[in-house]
Amino acid sequence: MPTSTITINPVTRIEGHAKITIQLDEKGIAQDARFHVNEFRGFEKFCEGRVLWEMGGITSRICGICPTSHLVTSAKAGDAILSVTIPETAQALRRIITLAQWLQSHALSFFHLSSPDFLLGFDSDPAKRNIFGLIASDKEFAKRGIRLRKFGQEIIEVLGSRRIHTPWAVAGGVREPLEPAKRDYLLNWIPEAKETARLALDTLKKIHVKFEKDIPNYGNFRSLYVGLVAPDGALEYYDGTLRVMDGDGNIIADKVNPSDFHEYFGEATEEWSYLKFPYYKPLGYAKGMYRVGPLARVNICDYIDTPLAEAERKQFKALAGGASVVNNSFYYHYARLIEILFSVEKIEQLLQDPVTMGQNIRAKAMINQLHGIGASEAPRGTLFHDYTVTEDALLSRVDLVIATAQNNLAMNRTVRQLALQYLDGAKVTEGLLNRIEAGIRCFDPCLSCSTHAIGMMPLHVQVVGPENNVLCDVRR
Residue 458 binding target from ligand SF4, other proteins, none, CB below 5 to 8 Å by type: other proteins
Residue 58 binding target from ligand SF4, other proteins, none, CB below 5 to 8 Å by type: other proteins
> Which residues within the stretch 29-48 sit at the binding site for other proteins (CB under 8 A)?
36-42, 44-46
- Using only C-alpha atoms, the chain has a radius of gyration, in whole angstroms, of 22
Task: Compute the least distance from the CB of residue 49 to ligand SF4, in Å.
Answer: 19
Task: Compute the least distance from the CB of residue 57 to ligand SF4, in Å.
Answer: 10
Q: Which of 29, 51, 132, 205 binds other proteins (CB under 8 A)?
A: 132
Task: Compute the least distance from the CB of residue 387 to other proteins, in Å.
Answer: 13
Q: Which of 64, 126, 167, 425 binds ligand SF4 (CB under 6 A)?
A: 64
Residue 442, CA distances (Å) to 143, 196, 244, 266, 449 in order: 22, 20, 21, 24, 17
From the centroid of its chain, how far is CA 273?
Answer: 19
Judged by beta carbon, residue 65 or residue 229, the one nearer other proteins is 65
Judged by beta carbon, residue 59 or residue 89, the one nearer ligand SF4 is 59
> Which residues within the stretch 379-408 sit at the binding site for other proteins (CB under 8 A)?
399
Q: Which of 32, 54, 88, 135 binds other proteins (CB under 8 A)?
A: 135
Judged by beta carbon, residue 162 or residue 206, the one nearer ligand SF4 is 162
Judged by beta carbon, residue 89 or residue 451, the one nearer other proteins is 451
Residue nearest to ligand SF4 (CB): 61
Residue 209 binding target from other proteins, ligand SF4, none, CB below 5 to 8 Å by type: none
Judged by beta carbon, residue 30 or residue 71, the one nearer ligand SF4 is 71
Q: Does 458 bind other proteins (CB under 8 A)?
A: yes
Residue 162 binding target from other proteins, ligand SF4, none, CB below 5 to 8 Å by type: other proteins
CB neighbour class for 470 (10 Å; exposed up to 12, middle 13-18, buried from 19): exposed
Q: Does 101 bind other proteins (CB under 8 A)?
A: no
Q: Which of 27, 210, 427, 460 binds other proteins (CB under 8 A)?
A: 460
Residue 269 binding target from ligand SF4, other proteins, none, CB below 5 to 8 Å by type: other proteins
Q: Which of 3, 26, 54, 143 binds other proteins (CB under 8 A)?
A: 143
Task: Compute the least distance from the CB of residue 41 to other proteins, in Å.
Answer: 6
Dihedral of the alpha carbons of 108, 114, 115, 117, in degrees to the nearest 10 = 160
Residue 336 binding target from other proteins, ligand SF4, none, CB below 5 to 8 Å by type: none
Backbone angles phi, psi at 442, to 5 degrees: -55, -40
Q: Does 41 bind ligand SF4 (CB under 6 A)?
A: no
Rounded Cα gap, residues 468 and 287, in angstroms = 36
Q: Does 167 bind ligand SF4 (CB under 6 A)?
A: no
Task: Compute the least distance from the CB of residue 42 to other proteins, in Å.
Answer: 4
Q: Which of 65, 97, 204, 373 binds other proteins (CB under 8 A)?
A: 65
Residues forming the site for ligand SF4 (CB under 6 A): 61, 64
